[in-house]
Amino acid sequence: MDQIAYVNGSFVPLADAKVSVLDRGFLFADGIYEVSAVLEGKLVDNASHLARLERSVGEIALALPESLDRIREIQKELIARNRVENGLVYLQVTRGAAAGRDFAFPKDVKPTLILFTSIKDIVNAPTAKSGIAVITVPDIRWARRDIKSVALLAQVLAKQAAAEAGAGEAWMIEDGKVTEGGSSSAFILTKDDVLVTRQNSSAILPGCTRKAVVALAEERQLRVEERAFSVEEALAAKEAFITSASSFVQAVVTIDGKTVADGRPGPMANRLREIYIDFARKTSE
């Protein structure tokens, strides 16, 4: 079956999905994106993702061309048209295509909105049992990482370095502390059984899965500290893991080739993964 995408009001075969070469997302990375997971044909924690989308476009004075309710309808229609049981829905909105290339915002130009889907069995991913390796790289990104911008070159370089090293993720380091992963939030479990993840600020993206996992942990009276931590602290921890829409909760078993604890996914990461998947199933739409 040919995959269907959505482009500016129309559902079209993915092979025919095109935008102008003058689109500002292409020329300037002047746009915002979101990714929502699909579990058993339904969207996971999608309200959180759409709220973050609304915040991000607001931060760059970019008007959404459709309401959030209409975007939700488009997401669901794409899932149905592409018969996605488990996977992801990608959304990107840009400032549109002007008559020429100029840095200032164009006037009277309608934003570009595209969506497409992909298949991925997140629940049964082999790495859920084996864990992943992480490498560290310098964080060379801009200062507004809280905005989910399509300007992802620094993350591309980080993820490429991870791929070349045979690792599943790269943790970005600034001032001796872990900011976050190339496409994930970073957590550790200390020797005192405290879950630690960096506090939200302009230094990191406010992860939707991170937010849900913190809330689910606190509901179960687990201690959570939102603060920065170092690689040394992570290597001395009981466990390390990442969270994201595309991995849910994923254990980290090595960092820069050094083993975390016994080198296997720990009970806390495994349990939080189970809790999150249960939450996802019960609240998906």
Closest CA to 212 of 168, 147, 277: 277
Rounded distance between C-alpha atoms, residue 40 and residue 86, angstroms: 6
Q: 3-state secondary structure string, 230-265? A: CHHHHHCCCEEEEEECCCEEEEEEEECCEECCCCCC
DSSP state of 97: B
Q: Is the dihedral of CA 241, 216, 51, 143 positive or negative?
A: negative
Closest CA to 113 of 131, 136, 124, 97: 97
Q: Which of 18, 129, 148, 177 is catalytic?
A: 148
Rounded distance between C-alpha atoms, residue 205 and residue 147, angstroms: 7
Using DSSP's 3-state secondary structure scheme, residue 59 falls into helix
Rounded distance between C-alpha atoms, residue 182 and residue 170, angstroms: 6
DSSP state of 16: G
Residue 42 is a catalytic residue: no
Residues serving a catalytic function are 148
